[in-house]
């Protein structure tokens, strides 16, 4: 679906144009065209390929989707893949933004993403002195918007982790904590898969050999790289903390099991003593002096009860019961 098709000149919006006129405006040296698509059909991508002269391999990647975040260079053009990560309640929704960038055009096609980029277009149009730099600045604005949307997701993960940590020492919550920690770990991995490859790719847009389109905007891409570096550092910290929390939680499970085993061992010792006395006095040998004693039975019960009570007192004092 076509969202926008706009021509810009000298950093200002020139006019909305029909798709058929794109190739005419792209030929103008002082003009560039910015097209935005949502869940584009193969026929739409084929039409854009014809109008912009897009490389067939880049179009094939955009058509198939589910690409790893990357930046590929095709002659004088770039093909950029970014993952959009949106947190809706407890669910993590991952989309994709494919951007084709040439000297006089920008084509963005988003898939499975519920958040649009109309605010990015509005931001660029309100900064004509920057938009005058052309397609490279639009690419920066799109990258910056996607990366900035990672921050609240990372903050939400940190808040969720803090909540789980507060419940680690609550009795009876170990199983639920383990489940929540592993679910959080999976969500953090999704964000990491969006951030780490993109950070590696953006490093190619500043310093060293930079694509000709981005030569005059290197400092902007360096700023995006810094943001990604901060997010990646937060992800690493969260993952390390999750691993520590899992180990602590497992240690708590082991401690609880040890407490149960101590109680079972204490009760087993108490009943073992009673069983030993009963076994000795229950052998029924005729030569046993206690068999004919009138008070033998109550005295035996008193002895067994006394010994059991004494053992219970000792175990209770030592913390086993």
Q: What is the pLDDT of residues 24-59, one digit of tens each?
A: 888 887 888 989 988 888 888 888 888 888 889 988
CA proximity to 226, closest of 155, 158, 152, 147: 147
CA proximity to 194, closest of 70, 296, 24: 70
Mean pLDDT in order along the chain per 10 residues (321 residues): 84 85 82 88 88 88 86 89 87 90 89 84 87 88 92 92 84 81 91 92 82 83 92 93 86 73 75 74 65 69 78 74 68
The predicted structure's pLDDT at residue 147? 93
Strands 70-74 and 91-102: unpaired
The predicted structure's pLDDT at residue 152? 93
Strands laid side by side in the 70-74 sheet = 12-16, 2-9, 31-38, 105-111, 91-102, 77-88, 70-74
Q: Provide the H-helix boundaries in the chain.
A: 22-26, 42-52, 56-64, 118-125, 128-131, 135-148, 150-166, 174-202, 218-281, 296-318
Question: Which pair of structure tokens corresponds to residue 110?
Answer: 């988003």
The predicted structure's pLDDT at residue 213? 83
The predicted structure's pLDDT at residue 154? 93
Cα distances (angstroms) measured from residue 5 to each of 33, 34, 78: 7, 6, 19
Domains of the chain from N-terminus onward: 1-133 (3.30.460.20), 254-318 (1.20.58.340)
> What is the model's pTM?
0.78
The predicted structure's pLDDT at residue 318? 74
The predicted structure's pLDDT at residue 286? 63
Question: Which pair of structure tokens corresponds to residue 150?
Answer: 């990672």
The predicted structure's pLDDT at residue 283? 67
The predicted structure's pLDDT at residue 172? 72
């Amino acid at each position: 679906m076509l969202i926008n098709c706009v021509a810009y000149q000298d950093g200002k919006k020139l006019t909305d144009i029909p798709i058929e006129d794109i190739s005419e405006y792209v030929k103008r040296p002082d003009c560039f065209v910015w097209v935005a698509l949502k869940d584009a059909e193969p026929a739409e991508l084929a039409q854009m390929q014809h109008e912009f002269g897009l490389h067939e391999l880049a179009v094939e990647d955009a058509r198939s989707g589910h690409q790893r975040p990357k930046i590929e260079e095709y002659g004088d053009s770039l093909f950029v893949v970014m993952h959009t990560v949106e947190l809706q309640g407890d669910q993590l929704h991952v989309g994709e933004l494919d951007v084709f960038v040439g000297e006089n055009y920008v084509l963005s096609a988003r898939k499975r993403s519920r958040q649009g980029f109309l605010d990015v277009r509005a931001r660029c149009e309100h900064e004509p002195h920057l938009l005058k730099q052309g397609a490279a600045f639009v690419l920066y604005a799109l990258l910056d918007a996607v990366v900035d949307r990672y921050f609240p997701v990372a903050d939400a993960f940190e808040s969720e982790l803090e909540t789980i940590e507060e419940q680690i020492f609550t009795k009876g919550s170990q199983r639920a904590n383990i489940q929540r920690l592993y679910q959080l770990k999976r969500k953090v991995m999704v964000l990491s898969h969006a951030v780490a490859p993109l950070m590696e790719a953006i490093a190619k847009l500043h310093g060293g050999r930079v694509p000709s389109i981005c030569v005059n905007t290197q400092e902007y891409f360096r700023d995006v790289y810094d943001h990604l570096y901060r997010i990646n550092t937060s992800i690493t910290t969260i993952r390390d903390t999750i691993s520590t929390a899992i180990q602590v939680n497992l240690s708590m499970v082991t401690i609880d099991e040890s407490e149960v085993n101590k109680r079972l061992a204490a009760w087993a010792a108490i009943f073992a003593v009673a069983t030993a006395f009963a076994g000795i006095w229950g052998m029924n040998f005729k030569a046993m002096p206690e068999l004919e004693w009138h008070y033998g039975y109550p005295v035996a019960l008193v002895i067994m009860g006394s010994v059991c009570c004494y053992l219970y007192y000792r175990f209770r004092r030592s913390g086993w019961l």
